[in-house]
Amino acid sequence: MTTTLLPVQAPADARTKVPRLDSLTGMRFIAALAVFVHHTTGLAPDTGLAHAPVLFPYSTMGVNGVGFFFVLSGFLLAWGHRPGTSRGLFYWRRAGRIVPAHLVATIPCVWVFYVWGGVPTDTFSFIAAVFLVQTWFPGVVPTLPGNGVSWTLSVEMFFYVLFPWIIGPALRLRTRTLALLAAAGLTAMWAVNWWAADHLSPFAREWVMRHPVTRLPEFALGMVCAIALRRGHRIALRPAALLAAFAAYTVVYCHRADWLAPEVVRQLQWTVRPFVAVFSALVVLAYAQRELAGRRGALSSRPMVLLGAWSYAFYLLHQTLNEYVRETWGRFRPDDSALFVLCGLAVTVIVMSWALFTYVEEPARKWWTRHTPSRLTS
């Protein structure tokens, strides 16, 4: 990975419409697929719907796909920001993009997990999950109520609430100041993780580390990268070198208990989220810069862009399908034949995602846009 600073171009006018970056859309599917593989393979040989030893334990890193989404979310919102957009209009558009698919995907989830599966919950927890504020409160039942994977949307909703208030002040700061603030945020994230591990119960620690405030540094890092890119800053990055470095890190991280001293193991565990955030930001920058330079690759191909467009629906639906299959047929034999199960499940979720996107998510977004209150656009 090369990090030589290239000559800075003239700062882009903040009002100029920026180009769409298709490769980042393709990345969304890769991240969603990583989360799917993690959930399906499980955390140990005796967990997961279809445990494939050829993927395990490296598949456990898929949980950090959500951190990638937080970084990418901050990047895309700052990249596409146009001054003059009212807060109300921003909130209206975000609601139209997020809420309809979330509500529809919750319906089969309720039946599979709570009616058929008998998972205990309570009214407050379920309502909090429907309104996507479940991570804001401790003690919800279960730990991830409603559609369990929607906890990340709860974090995103917090980011959406903040964004119109912080983007203006952020744009008034120098890039170097923003970079220092982003670094301080990631350092604080590591420190909070360390403190929580030493002072809180495992349950309380997990709540703290899922709380939107704790995940804010990831979103902020994405924002800073987009602002720097719009201002003309460039860093020479090679995607292949980045991916190779992350693969090496993954091997070390997944075998940390066998290879490293206990204190190093603890530090790796506390720093994994900030590290993945930095890696995610560098990968996003690498592919964004390549596309801005006119070099398109596999991630910006039409199939990957389509899969990326369906990735939100894919993410919402995959765990419900996993639970339905587990309740119907039980866990599959934990050997490498589970790869065929994984592939079959992935294809099934992709088809379901296409349907949810085509018949719910996109029509609802267009309807919502057509019915934007005039006071928000005036």
Domain map of the chain by residue range?
A: 23-377
Instruction: Give φ, ψ of 54 to 5 degrees.
Output: -65, -25
Are the C-beta atoms of residues 136 and 115 closer than 8 Å to each other?
A: no
**pLDDT confidence of residue 15:** 53
Question: Quick count: other Cβ atoms within 10 Å of Cβ 160?
Answer: 21
Query: What's the CA gap between 97 and 311, in Å, rounded?
Result: 13
For the chain, the three-class secondary structure string (H helix, E strand, C coil) is CCCCECCCCCCCCCCCCCCCCHHHHHHHHHHHHHHHHHHHHCCCCCCCCCCCCCCCCHHHHHHHHHHHHHHHHHHHHHHCCCCCCCHHHHHHHHHHHHHHHHHHHHHHHHHHHHHHCCCCCCHHHHHHHHCCCHHHCCCCCCCCCCCHHHHHHHHHHHHHHHHHHHHHHHHCCCHHHHHHHHHHHHHHHHHHHHHHHHHCCHHHHHHHHHCHHHHHHHHHHHHHHHHHHHCCCCECCCHHHHHHHHHHHHHHHHCHHHHCCHHHHHHHHHHHHHHHHHHHHHHHHHHHHHHHCCCCCHHHCHHHHHHHHHHHHHHHHHHHHHHHHHHHHCCCCCCCCHHHHHHHHHHHHHHHHHHHHHHHHHHHHHHHHHCCCHHHHC
Closest CA to 315 of 97, 30, 32, 102: 32
**pLDDT confidence of residue 158:** 97
Are the C-beta atoms of residues 306 and 350 closer than 8 Å to each other?
A: no
Question: Quick count: other Cβ atoms within 10 Å of Cβ 278?
Answer: 16
CA dihedral 212, 216, 218, 223 (to 10 degrees): 130
Query: What's the CA gap between 61 and 147, in Å, rounded?
Result: 21
Q: At what angle do helices 87-109 and 362-370 cross, to 10 degrees?
A: 150
Burial of 63 (0-12, 13-18, 19+ CB in 10 A): middle
**pLDDT confidence of residue 16:** 60
Burial of 265 (0-12, 13-18, 19+ CB in 10 A): middle
pTM of structure? 0.93
Amino acid at 25: T
Cα Rg of the chain (Å, integer): 21
Closest CA to 70 of 205, 160, 165, 134: 160
Give the pLDDT of the chain (378 residues) as one tens digit per residue.
Answer: 333 333 333 344 445 678 889 999 999 999 999 999 999 999 888 888 999 999 999 999 999 999 999 999 999 999 999 988 899 999 999 999 999 999 999 999 999 999 999 999 999 999 999 999 999 999 999 999 999 999 999 999 999 999 999 999 999 999 999 999 999 999 999 999 999 999 999 999 999 999 999 999 999 999 999 999 999 999 999 999 999 999 999 999 999 999 999 999 999 999 999 999 999 999 999 999 999 999 999 999 999 999 999 999 999 999 999 999 999 999 999 999 999 999 999 999 999 999 999 999 999 999 999 999 999 887
Preceding omega of 164 cis (within 30 degrees of 0): no
Residues 6+ apart with CB under 8 A from 336: 52, 53, 54
Closest CA to 35 of 342, 366, 287, 372: 342
Are the C-beta atoms of residues 178 and 262 closer than 8 Å to each other?
A: no
**pLDDT confidence of residue 11:** 40
